[in-house]
Amino acid sequence: MYFTGIDVGSTFSKSVICDEYGEVLGRGMLRTGADFKERAVQVLEAAKADANYPEGAPIRIIATGYGRNNIDFADGVMTEIACQAKGVFHSIPEAQTIVDIGGQDTKIVFVGSNGLVERFIVNRKCAAGTGAFLEEIARRLDKELSELAQLAQNGKGDRALSSYCTVFASSEVLDLLRRGVDIHDLARSMFLSVVARVMELATFGDKITLTGGVVANNPIVADLIREKVKGKVTVPDYAQFTAALGAAIIAKEQFQKQAKDQSAT
């Protein structure tokens, strides 16, 4: 029996396949695009190929993420909050604050020592402090985001961009360049803006776990957060796949509970 989580995010779709012990066998990731269901099918096939999945083997699927309700071939759906908590706690079984920085929003999930969600906060005001914010500025500068992350590593200063709005911030960046601000310092300010937006949302605990594509692809974000907080900051392996992993674990647990209940009767 195989168990799969499909996380249809606003920017990327991810899939994780695990076995009955919760061991990850394969992963897949593609840009989401306009057709959520089609991309979910494709990302599932990518994970199957990575896992050497035997064609026709039984599989149970839980969908999560922005487009979860479009995945009509899934056996069930679950919220991103529940899947993030399940996926991270599976790898790091302790009380913690999960900070997930995605393409369109930022989620902060407080998880207890039992793995249950105690409370959560979602930033839905605008794209400030998210992957869309960074990609827009990179586009205006005609640079790859990975290049800006590398430049920021050598930047100086501790001042974030003053503009909160993504559109205004990109214009501010161009104005700062015109005034002769060093590109390395400017790149650092850009990532400091992301950190500032995240830290405005809540007071973190002693143990912080960072997830999401922004963190996975831009290590400087974790470095800057470590400079700002007193607690221990951890970035798990495959930080962009934690919600998909959680969905796969939930699929496994649901199946095993059903099997147990049936055997009891």
Average pLDDT rounded to a whole number, residues 199-209? 89
Q: What's at 128, amino acid-wise?
A: A
Look at the domain 1-92+239-265 and name its fold.
Nucleotidyltransferase; domain 5 (3.30.420)
pLDDT digits (tens, 9 = 90+) for 5-14: 999 998 899 9
Least confident of 89-93, 112-116, 179-183, 221-225: 179-183
pLDDT band for position 220 (cuts 50, 70, 90): very high
Mean pLDDT over all residues of the chain? 90
Q: Return the pLDDT at 203.
A: 86
Q: Is the pLDDT of residue 146 over 90?
A: no
Average pLDDT over residues 5-27: 95
Residue 129 confidence (pLDDT) above 80: no
β-strand 24-31 against 106-111: which pairing, if any?
Answer: unpaired
What pTM was estimated for this model as a whole? Answer: 0.91
- Decide if 83 contacts 109 (C-beta within 8 A): no
Q: Tell whether the model's pLDDT for residue 252 goes beyond 90.
A: yes
Distances (CA, A) of 202 to 98, 110, 140, 149, 188: 11, 10, 30, 25, 22
Q: Reply yes or no on whether the pLDDT at 197 is more than 90.
A: no
Taking residues 171-191, what's their average pLDDT? 86
pLDDT at 124: 63
Domain with CATH 3.30.420.40 in the chain: 1-92+239-265, 94-235
Read off the pLDDT of each residue in 193-212 and give the average, rounded to a whole number: 90
Chain mean position to CA 182: 30
Share of the chain above pLDDT 90, in %: 57
What pLDDT is recorded for position 172?
84
Q: Residue 126: is its pLDDT beyond 70?
A: no
**Is pLDDT at 110 greater than 80 in this prediction?**
yes
Predicted confidence at residue 202, as pLDDT, reads 86
The closest of 3, 42, 26, 15 to 243, measured between CA atoms, is: 15
pLDDT category at 92 given cuts 50, 70, 90 is very high
Q: So what CATH class is 94-235?
A: alpha beta
> Per-residue pLDDT averaged across 239-246, rounded?
97
